[in-house]
Every structure is written in structure tokens, then in C-alpha cells.
Amino acid sequence: MTTSAAQPTGRGLAGARAHTRGRDRRLDAVREKVERGERLTLEDGDLLYTTPDIWSVCELAATVRNRLHGAPGAGGIAYYNINRHLNYSNVCALSCKFCEFYRKKDEPGAYTRDMAYVREEVRKAVEAGATEIHSVGGLHPYLPWSYYPELVSTIRDEAKRLGSDLHVKAFTAVEVVHLARIAKVYRGANDASDEGRAARREGIRWVLSELKKAGLGSLPGGGAEVFDDRVHDEAFKGKIRSDVWLDVHREAHALGLNTNATILYGHIEQRRERLVHMQMLRDAQDEALSEVARHSVPGASPPHAAVSAGTECRPTKGRFQTIIPLPFFPDGSDLEHLPGPTGLENLRTLAIARLMLDNFAHVKAFWIMQTLPMAQLMLQCGADDIDGTVVWYDITKVPQGAKDAPTHQEVNVWTLQKAIRDAGFEPVERDTLYRRVFRDDKDPRAWRAA
């Protein structure tokens, strides 16, 4: 790569190549790999994390991002969606140190939504033209198994009644295992043998297929935290470990459900542990994509069906769609004494996720947690998606809503589009599966995905 400043402007970090001062020559080998499309190692990741030359890290991530989704000012696109979060309950049997969301059953502020509430939320979502409901909750100790398929079918049926094909993205891997336990199909929990794992996976498969029959469309990426046993035991003991989290996603993929992945960073983990987490996700995606390629049937492939499986085939197996780096918010959690990650650490981690996860089609800068101005900058440093209108977000509370409604964090579509345009990209509305959404000019609530 040259360092000439005589490049066209308006193409963002990767195209302008204006960054010449303080350039870290140790990154040259990584740069060559990125330009050849070669896979990066953990040692490459260490260097990307420790170099003071953060702009080169961003520039490299932008190179990958722009290769997949186009460069700013040159037809490059970035995604947003119109969605709503619906947390069905914040009652949780666990007490994870990093979590400020959970409540015990009789604690002030504890809630569990009934189906009348759910139907009302669906009505509001359809009225707002939403294409997705993102629904997660705590591990409720007393709700029966039947509540969960009912939740999914209620959302789908109510939306259909109102003329909308609303997608239900629901239940993190941790919740799926909890549901398998309460449905009494989770066997072999303490059995480390292959048979134990097969028994656990059978229970997970049963739960997922029942939820799919009820209308579940995909799994969100939550609950992954950091795939490391030390960090797990210290900060979220009681949650499933990485092997089980990955097995839930494997089972979802086998059933044809796409899933997302997250990494929660900036608490008690080391940077190397973040890189190992990314490497484990990359390996799991390799597996998923080879199954996608093996089982696809002839037919048009959806856009960005898979980074490496660009055949004219319709996938019948699922895969990871996007990685969502989540910065840790200490306030209100048992780890309140920690400072949380800084802005540059957020930028760097997102850029490194783009570089390490070469087989993920998308990187999401979740604006609710990153803030909108930061998400905009992230579009120039590896991200291609800023998520959606969201409306209510209970998991972390960034004080930017109305005074008496601290979890109200709505932006309108125009604001999301403007943020994307100002970052140099063409805003594209997507549905949950990253298909383009088209709206009826006369009735913008009506939509179809293509």
C-alpha cells in the first residue's frame, strides 16, 4: 500500500489513505494479509490491539468493510432497521455481576408481561412500520414452558392480523437452555462425555424446533459475554459456558435459523481473551458456512447470504449474520467500580472484530450502547450496520431518554438515515435477515423484503 495523499477524497479512511504521520511499520505484514484477503492470527490481533497507530487499524478495517459493502462516496451502503425491543420479563434466577437489568421476583421494578401487553406492543410496532421485534428476558424461575411459544405465536399472529409479516428475533442461547430445563428436556447437564453433550443438544434442538414452529425467525447474539472460563466464573457464573452457547447456535443453524453473535468487553477480561472469543466465533462460522454450502438448494441467494458462499442457491441452513461488540456499562452493576471502556477502545475493538471475523458478512455498531455519533464514526472503521429505531431499551440505561422514562431511547428513521449519509454511505433499510426493505409510498407502514 502506498502512503500517497494524492488519492480521491470522500472515500473514507480506507480510500483516502491520508494517514501518514505516526504510521506503525510493524503493521505492514498485517496490511499485506488484509489486502490479499488472508486470515489474521491471534498474534496479528495482539499487534492491532497494542499499536499506538489506531488510525491504521481503522483504515484496515475500513478496507474489509468497503470490499463487502462499498466505499463511502462510491456507492457504499450501510444498514439500519425499524424495530422494537420487547423485554418480556426482567425477573432472573441469576445475579450476574455485570448486569443491571435483572430483578428478583418481588423486588421493586420487577415485571413480567402478559399477552395483552404483548399484543399492544405488537400493535404499536406495526403502526410504526417495524419489521422486527427483538425479545429477550431474564431466566424467570416460575414461568411455565408454555409461556414462551405462546409469546412468539402471539407476536406473529397479532402482527399477521394487522397485515404485517413481523419477524421475531428472540431468546439468547442462555434463555434457550433455561427453556430446555423448564421443559424438562435438558439431559446430561453434568455429563462431560460425548453422550452428555448429545443429550443436551437434543433438548436444545427440541426447544428451538418448537419455537420455530410457533414462528421464531432468528436468535439474537446476546449472552455470549466473553468465551473464557476464568472470566465466566468471576463475572457470570451460573450462565452457560462458551461450549454450550456455541452448541445452541449450531443447533439453530442446523434448523435453518440465522443467529447473531456478541462480545461484551471492557470489564474484567484481557484483550487476548477478546481475540480468542473472536477466533472461536470465526471457527463456528466456518462450520456453519460449510453446512450452508453443502445443503443449499438451487434458487436465488439472498443478498450477502454468506461471505464465502456466493452461489445462486437458497440456503436451508443458518449461519451467523453479524457480530455486535458491546461495550460494558458499569453503572448500576456489581462491577460499578470499574471504569468501562473508553471511546478509542470501543473504536479499536469494533475495527478488530471486522478484521478478525473475516467470514462474518456484517458488523453492527449498536448505536444504543455506542451512542449515535460514535456509531457514525464506526461506519468509517469497519461497521456496516447501526441497528434500528429500538424505542425501549432496558438492558443498559444510557440517560438520553425523557426524564420520567429512562429506558426510552427512540430515534426516528430520518435521524438514522442522516447519520449514515453524513458518514458517506447510502442508508439501506434491511429486515432482520439483511434483505432490502421496500415501502409503499402511499402507506409507509406497509413493507416487503426482497
Q: State the residues that interact with ligand V47 by CB under 6 A.
A: 98-100, 172, 220-223, 225, 260, 262, 264, 324, 326, 328-329, 333, 366, 387, 395-396
418/421 Cα distance (integer angstroms) = 5
Q: Which is nearer to ligand V47, 132 or 158 (CB)?
A: 132
Quick one: which of 218, 277, 276 has its CA closest to 248?
218
Residues 381-390: b if buried by 16+ CB within 10 A, e if exposed: bbbbbbbbbb
Cβ 70 to ligand V47, closest distance in Å? 22
What is the layout of strands, in order, in the sheet containing 320-327? 83-85, 132-135, 167-170, 216-219, 258-265, 320-327, 362-363
Q: Which is nearer to ligand V47, 27 or 363 (CB)?
A: 363
Cβ 133 to ligand V47, closest distance in Å? 12
Cβ 186 to ligand V47, closest distance in Å? 20
- CA distances to 57, 61, 311, 362 from 69, rounded to whole Å, are 18, 12, 18, 9
Cβ 355 to ligand V47, closest distance in Å? 21
Cβ 382 to ligand V47, closest distance in Å? 17
Q: Which is nearer to ligand V47, 89 or 396 (CB)?
A: 396
SS3 at position 214: helix
Contact present, 353 and 60 (Cβ < 8 Å): no
SS3 at position 260: strand
Q: Which is nearer to ligand V47, 63 or 172 (CB)?
A: 172
Name 190's Cβ contacts closer than 8 Å, sequence gap at least 6.
Answer: 196
Contact present, 381 and 350 (Cβ < 8 Å): yes
Cβ 363 to ligand V47, closest distance in Å? 12
What's the residue count for the chain? Answer: 450
Q: Which is nearer to ligand V47, 98 or 148 (CB)?
A: 98
Q: Which is nearer to ligand V47, 227 or 328 (CB)?
A: 328
Which amino acid, 229? Answer: D
Cβ 132 to ligand V47, closest distance in Å? 9
Name 284's Cβ contacts closer than 8 Å, sequence gap at least 6.
Answer: 246, 249, 250, 320
Listing DSSP states for 179-204 in one string gives: HHHHTT----TT--SHHHHHHHHHHH
Cβ 218 to ligand V47, closest distance in Å? 8
Name 307's Cβ contacts closer than 8 Å, sequence gap at least 6.
Answer: 68, 289, 358, 359, 360, 361
What is the layout of strands, in order, in the sheet containing 77-81? 385-388, 77-81, 426-429
Q: Which is nearer to ligand V47, 90 or 333 (CB)?
A: 333
Cβ 101 to ligand V47, closest distance in Å? 6
Cβ 257 to ligand V47, closest distance in Å? 12
Nearest residue to ligand V47, using CB? 222
427/69 Cα distance (integer angstroms) = 11
Q: Which is nearer to ligand V47, 172 or 279 (CB)?
A: 172
SS3 at position 141: coil
Q: Which is nearer to ligand V47, 242 or 260 (CB)?
A: 260
Q: Which is nearer to ligand V47, 14 or 166 (CB)?
A: 166
